[in-house]
Amino acid sequence: MAKHPRMILYLDKVQELLKAFPTFIIQQVPRAENAHADALASLGSALDTQFRRSILVEHLDRPSIEEIELINTMQINEDPSWQDPI
């Protein structure tokens, strides 16, 4: 159960996205077994440039929980085309 208002928004977004999957499994991984992901999460929130190696970090302009307004949408034709493999 999320308590922080921002985490509640993320939880709501995840619950909305999960409706698209027929089944799913959530598995808790102990921090000791998740060192690489924990390090990446820490790196993503670090503002320091103390690292000597080049590490590519994608910066999101807005949180993924923000809704974006679609002004123009495009319909994609899914009929077979000459580009489809035989």
> What b/e string do you get for 8-24 counting C-beta neighbours within 10 Å, with b at 16 or more?
eeeeeeeeeeeeeeeee
Q: From residue 52, give the alpha-carbon distance in Å to each of 35, 36, 48, 49, 73.
A: 20, 18, 11, 8, 43
Residue 65: which of 1, 2, 4, 16 has the closest Cα?
16
Q: What is the pTM of this model?
A: 0.40
Q: Are 2 and 10 in contact (CB under 8 A)?
A: yes
pLDDT digit string (tens) for the chain, length 86 residues? 788 888 899 899 999 999 999 998 888 888 788 888 887 777 766 655 555 556 676 777 777 777 777 666 677 777 787 777 76
